[in-house]
Amino acid sequence: MGTGTISNLDQLSEHAFAEAMLSRQYPLVGEAGIERLMNAVVAHAGLGGGGALALEMLARAGIRKFRLLDRDCYEASNLNRQVFATVDTVGRPKVEVAAERLRKINPHIKIEKSLFESVTPGNCEEMLVGADLAMVCTDSPSSHIFFNQAARRLGVRLIFGGAPGLGCAVWVEAHDQPGGSDGPLNRVRNMLRRARGAKDIYGLSEDEALALDSAHDRPGTFTPTISYVPNCSACLSAALAVNYLAGLDTRPHSFRIDFKRFCSVGGISQVLSTLRQQSRR
C-alpha cells in the first residue's frame, strides 16, 4: 500500500481513497478495525471547543457516516479555542460549517442528519436510532438527561466530554453493556437532591429536565476557557470512540485532567500516573 503523494484524489474510488488516506493507520488498527470504523454510524451533538475537534479526529480516523446536532452559530468568542471557528465562519450555523469541513477531509463522508436545533427527547431518539455510538459534547443538564434516556432504551453507548475552566473530563455511559455507568449524571443527581429530593433521572419529564437548565445557568455569566483545555478533552473523547468502534478496547474508561496541577511542578508526572491507573481499570 503506497503512502506517497497522490495528485488526483478526486478521481479515486472510495476504496482507493480510504487506502491512501488511512495507510499510516492500518498498522495500529488493523484491516478489520478500519472496516469497522468505515461502517460505523456516529451521532455527534455539540460542536464547540471539544466537540468540533473530536468530530474532525473521528473523520480523520476513517469514520464516514455522521449525524450532527447543534443549535448555535459561530461567534467571535469561539475564535480562541474552536477549530471550525474562523473570521469566515462567524455567524454561520455550526452544523453547516462542520459538514463542509468533514467533506474537505473526505469527500465520501455522508452526513445522514444535520439538525440546527436544541437537544430534545425527540431529536435524541432520531439521532440514536441505528447509531453505533454517540458523542455528547453539550453543556446543559437536560441534554445529558435526554441523551441518556434515549440511549438506555436503544442500547447505544455515549461518550461525554467537557472542559470548564482549566479542567477537562471525559466519561462513558455504557448503555450497550449491562449495568452501564452513570458517571456524567452524578452532578445532575446532586442538583436534583438539592432542588427537590432524590428522583430517578430516567423517569424525569421533559419539563423537569429543562427546569434543571434554569438552575444551572446564571444569566450574564459565562464559563471561562482557553484553547488547549477543550482540545485535550477532544483527544481523550476521540481515543475512546476510535478504540471502541474499531473493537480494540470496549471498556468504559473515564479521565479527568486538572491543568492547574498539570502545569505545576511535578504535575505532569502526577497526571500521567493517574491516566495509567485509570487505563488499567
pLDDT tens sequence across 269-281: 555 565 566 556 5
pTM score, whole prediction: 0.86
Element (H, E) at 161: strand 158-162
For residues 210 and 153, what is the distance between their CA atoms, to the nearest angstrom? 20
DSSP 248: S
Pairing assessment for the beta strands 65-69 and 167-173 based on DSSP bridges: unpaired
CATH superfamily of 11-279: NAD(P)-binding Rossmann-like Domain (3.40.50.720)
Residues 107-118: what's their mean pLDDT?
A: 97
Would the pLDDT of 31 be above 70?
yes
Domain range list for the chain: 11-279
Which of 40-54, 80-94, 186-200, 257-271 bottoms out in mean pLDDT, i.e. has the lowest? Answer: 186-200
Residues 153-175: what's their mean pLDDT?
A: 89
- Number of helices and strands (H, E) in the chain? 11, 7
Which residue's entry shows cell 488547549?
A: 228
Which of 3-7, 51-55, 135-139 bottoms out in mean pLDDT, i.e. has the lowest? Answer: 3-7
Is residue 84 packed enough to be buried (19+ CB in 10 Å), middle (13-18) or exposed (0-12)?
A: buried
Most confident of 10-19, 79-88, 201-210: 79-88
Residues 175-183: what's their mean pLDDT?
A: 74
Pairing assessment for the beta strands 167-173 and 158-162 based on DSSP bridges: antiparallel
Beta strands in 130-205 (DSSP E): 133-136, 158-162, 167-173
Would the pLDDT of 265 be above 80?
no
- Residue 5: pLDDT band by 50, 70, 90 thresholds? low
Grid cell at residue 243: 478504540
Residue 93 has phi, psi (to 5 degrees) of: -60, 140
Residues 6+ apart with CB under 8 A from 177: 157, 250, 252
- Residue 150: pLDDT band by 50, 70, 90 thresholds? very high
Would the pLDDT of 226 be above 90?
no
Sheet-wide strand order for 133-136: 110-115, 65-69, 41-45, 133-136, 158-162, 167-173, 255-258
| Mean pLDDT estimate for the chain | 86
Would the pLDDT of 249 be above 60?
yes
Angle at 232 between CA 23 and CA 78, to 5 degrees: 105
Pairing assessment for the beta strands 133-136 and 110-115 based on DSSP bridges: unpaired
Would the pLDDT of 229 be above 80?
yes
Q: What pLDDT is recorded for position 1?
A: 44
Is residue 121 packed enough to be buried (19+ CB in 10 Å), middle (13-18) or exposed (0-12)?
A: middle
- Summarize pLDDT for 83-103 with one digit per residue, the tens: 999 999 999 999 999 999 999
